[in-house]
């Protein structure tokens, strides 16, 4: 089975190109917000939807800044391109950092329990990530190493990385992560609906699972822009997520172990 992007542009409106990436991201955010609002009713009272516009702006900004920092050599030479996000260029780890900082400040000022907010948000984010990865498909990005197996992704010559110009087919890494993110969403949904696990446990479980997923997928991808000791930055960031998740779960289980 061969997957092939039909192109980044969905349609033209009044001479302006409307990209699939933007359409899919908008749908992903709406779906994630709806799920997070539902899950919030299961873990504590509040009006989470009122917070969504702020989180979208903060998360989007953080994701773009983080991506541009990782690709600083290009954006330093083309600073105006920092504002050009219609064709992609967002990093989920940047979103995490920005939103966590915002939520820490917000919860402190409003005297709210931090994990009461993060637990339902993690459930919504997992679904949004699963949907949003399809934006990478239309942009012909986030693919893996050359691959000519049963399920493969055709990449047009214009989108092939340096050194892979003669390869036509690659691992559909975006699809792998989309499926795994959907599994994470289902797991969190079951935990929230069927158990009485604490918000700390739910948040930590998401960090652990998503960090593990990114480590797996990043080992397949070939588009990492920055490295630390020859290790792709996304893998380093994901290892930290896994460590944070494990610490949170152990911290939550500690009273029960006693």
Q: Using an 8 Å Cβ cutoff, are 87 and 8 in contact?
A: yes
Residues 6+ apart with CB under 8 A from 102: 54, 55, 58
Pairwise CA distance, residues 228 & 130, whole Å: 27
Pairwise CA distance, residues 7 & 20, whole Å: 8
Token pair, residue 251, equals 């911290």
Helix, strand or coil, per DSSP, at residue 47: coil
Average pLDDT of the chain is: 89
Q: What is the DSSP string of 120-131?
A: HHHHHHHHHHHH
- Is the pTM for the entire model greater than 0.75? yes
pLDDT the model gives residue 84: 73
State pLDDT tens for residues 90-120.
Answer: 788 889 899 999 999 999 998 888 998 999 9
Share of the chain above pLDDT 90, in %: 60
Sheet strands (E) in 100-193: 152-154, 169-170
């Amino acid at each position: 089975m061969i997957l092939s992007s039909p192109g980044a542009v969905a349609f033209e409106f009044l001479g302006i190109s409307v990209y699939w990436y933007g359409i899919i991201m908008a749908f992903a955010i709406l779906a994630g917000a709806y799920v997070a609002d539902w899950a919030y009713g299961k873990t504590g009272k509040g009006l989470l939807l009122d917070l969504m516009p702020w989180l979208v702006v903060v998360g989007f900004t953080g994701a773009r800044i983080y991506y541009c920092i990782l690709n600083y050599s290009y954006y330093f030479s083309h600073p105006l391109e920092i504002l050009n996000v219609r064709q992609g260029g967002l990093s989920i780890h940047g979103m995490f950092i920005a939103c966590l900082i915002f939520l820490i400040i917000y919860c402190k000022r409003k005297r709210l329990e931090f994990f009461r907010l993060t637990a339902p948000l993690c459930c919504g984010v997992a679904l949004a990530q699963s949907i949003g990865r399809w934006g990478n498909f239309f942009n012909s990005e986030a693919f893996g190493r050359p691959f000519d197996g049963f399920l493969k992704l055709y990449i047009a010559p214009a989108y092939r990385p340096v050194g892979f110009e003669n390869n036509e087919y690659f691992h559909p890494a975006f699809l792998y992560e989309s499926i795994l993110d959907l599994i994470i969403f289902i797991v969190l949904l079951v935990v929230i609906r069927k158990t009485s696990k604490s918000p700390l446990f739910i948040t930590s479980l998401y960090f652990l699972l998503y960090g593990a997923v990114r480590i797996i997928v990043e080992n397949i991808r070939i588009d990492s822009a920055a490295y630390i000791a020859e290790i792709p930055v996304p893998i380093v960031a994901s290892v930290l997520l896994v460590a944070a998740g494990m610490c949170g779960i152990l911290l939550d289980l500690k009273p029960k172990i006693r």
